């Protein structure tokens, strides 16, 4: 598969100067047209960039870590390889200061996605308090279950018989899907926080593993999980948050929820 015009899956030249035209846009509508999206729908795609540099006004390199928050209400997402190429295009270009770079990135990404994108750049010399940690919640990966499905199986999802109403957070590190263009594996951890009838944890784990051969972008996978759990288990509140393993200096961490409250700031060991 090749998305016409996208740099993903083909060899491209390393950019030598700042170029916002490198950002490749993908409409969200096509994927969402096959989902039964509930009215309760909030979220964002949180990107962290660890290979970020530019030149100061005198030509000296500056290095930083970037955080980019794209609202799920945006009509478009940005393809990951094009995002990396765009960020790399700053490395040989002079800018007055970090604020100028941050403002420029926010403008370009907001135009590309069709919604305001929040950009935070943190120089490496500043203290970064976001240490590696496991996702907070009850990890269900040690459940002794037999797996038969490695393609999406939302029919596996169910609540416990006569389930009591609970509020809990369940976590799995066994999430895997595949890039729809290159076929490369996308590894991740997923957090499901909900209030509602108690979900059958074994069934939930089987469902997470069933995405193992699924081919879809990170953002689309999270939206699919959210919609599948919402319709199968009918919680009063739900949030699905995935932290994907870093690739090419970027990690992607989408979340979708029934409420405006997002996930805690998390950085897993694979990021």
Q: Are 112 and 51 contained in the same domain?
A: yes
Q: Which residues pair with 242 in a beta bridge?
A: 190
Report yes or no on 9 lying in a domain.
Answer: no
Q: How many domains does the chain contain in total?
A: 2
Please give the C-alpha separations between residue 85 and each of 55, 127, 182, 248, 250, in angstroms, as whole numbers. 16, 27, 17, 10, 11
CATH number at residue 67: 3.30.1130.10
In a domain, 15, yes or no: no
Tell whether 149 and 109 lie within a shared domain: no
| 267 within domain boundaries | no
Asked if residue 171 is part of any domain, the answer here is yes
**CA gyration radius for the chain?**
19
Local mean pLDDT, 10-residue blocks, the chain (271 residues): 54 82 95 90 96 96 96 96 95 94 98 98 77 92 96 97 96 96 93 98 98 94 97 97 94 96 90 90
Is 158 within a domain? yes
247 marked among binding-site residues:
yes
Same domain, 115 and 146: no
Say whether both 82 and 142 belong to one domain.
Answer: no
Same-domain pairing of 175 and 253: yes
Q: Is 111 annotated as a binding residue?
A: no
173: containing domain: 138-257
Among 91, 123, 155, residue at a domain's last position: 123
pLDDT at position 54 is 96
- 218 annotated ligand-binding residue: yes
Please identify, among 62, 96, 123, the residue that sits at the C-terminal boundary of a domain: 123
**Helices 201-209, 218-233: inter-axial angle, 10-degree rounding:** 150
Does an H or E element contain 5, and which? Answer: none
The per-residue pLDDT of the chain, averaged, comes to: 93
Residues involved in catalysis: 179, 186
How far is residue 225 from each of residues 92, 148, 207, 254, measured CA to CA in Å?
A: 40, 19, 9, 11
pLDDT per residue over 140-192, tens digit each? 999 999 999 999 999 999 999 999 999 999 999 999 999 988 889 999 999 99
pLDDT of the residue at 123: 86
d(CA 98, CA 198): 47
| pLDDT per residue as tens digits for the range 67-82 | 999 999 999 999 999 9
144 and 215, same domain (yes or no): yes
Q: Are residues 119 and 159 in the same domain?
A: no
Is 78 flagged in the annotation as binding? yes
Asked if the structure places residue 128 within a domain, the reply is no
User: Closest Cα to residue 66, out of 94, 96, 106?
Assistant: 106
Last residue of a domain, one of 98, 123, 148: 123
79 is in an annotated binding site: yes
110 and 144 both lie in a single domain: no
């Amino acid at each position: 598969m090749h998305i016409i015009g996208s740099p993903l899956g083909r060899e491209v030249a390393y950019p030598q100067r700042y170029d916002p035209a490198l950002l490749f846009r993908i409409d969200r509508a096509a994927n969402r047209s096959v989902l039964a999206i509930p009215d309760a729908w909030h979220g964002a795609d949180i990107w962290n960039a660890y290979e970020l540099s530019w030149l100061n006004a005198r030509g000296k390199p500056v290095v930083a870590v970037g955080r980019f928050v794209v609202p799920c209400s945006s009509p478009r997402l940005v393809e990951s390889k094009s995002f990396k190429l765009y960020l790399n295009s700053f490395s040989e270009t002079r800018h007055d200061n970090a604020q100028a770079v941050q403002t420029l990135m926010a403008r370009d990404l907001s135009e590309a996605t069709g919604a305001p994108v929040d950009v935070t750049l943190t120089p490496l010399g500043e203290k970064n308090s976001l240490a590696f940690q496991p996702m907070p919640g009850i990890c269900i990966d040690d459940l002794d279950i037999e797996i038969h499905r490695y393609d999406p199986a939302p029919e596996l999802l169910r609540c416990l018989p006569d389930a009591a109403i609970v509020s809990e957070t369940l976590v799995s590190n066994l999430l895997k899907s595949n890039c729809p263009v290159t076929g490369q594996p996308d590894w991740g951890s997923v957090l499901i926080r909900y209030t509602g009838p108690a979900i059958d944890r074994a069934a939930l784990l089987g469902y997470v593993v069933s995405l193992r051969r699924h081919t879809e972008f990170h953002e689309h996978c999270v939206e699919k999980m959210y919609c599948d759990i919402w319709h199968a288990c009918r919680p009063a509140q739900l949030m699905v948050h995935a932290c994907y393993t870093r690739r090419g200096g970027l990690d992607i961490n989408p979340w979708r929820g029934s409420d405006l409250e997002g996930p805690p700031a998390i950085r897993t060991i694979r990021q």
